[in-house]
Amino acid sequence: MTFLMNIDCPHCEKNYQILMTSIAGLCILPCFECNQPIIVFFGRCLALDSDFFLWSISRKKQAVIKLITAIMEELLENIFGGKSGPIKPEEVINFNRELGELDDPNKFGQVFGRPRD
The CB-side HSE value for 43 (13 A sphere, CA atoms) comes to 4
pLDDT digits (tens, 9 = 90+) for 17-36: 888 887 778 899 999 999 99
**Is residue 15 classed as helix, strand or coil in its secondary structure?**
strand
pLDDT at 82: 57
Contact 23, 4 (CB under 8 A): no
Residue 65: is its pLDDT beyond 60?
Answer: yes
| Amino acid identity for residue 107 in this structure | K
Residue 87: is its pLDDT beyond 60?
Answer: yes
**Is residue 31 classed as helix, strand or coil in its secondary structure?**
coil
Q: In angstroms, rounded to a whole number, what is the distance separating the alpha carbons of residues 85 and 70?
A: 20
pLDDT at 76: 82
Higher pLDDT, 87 or 57: 57
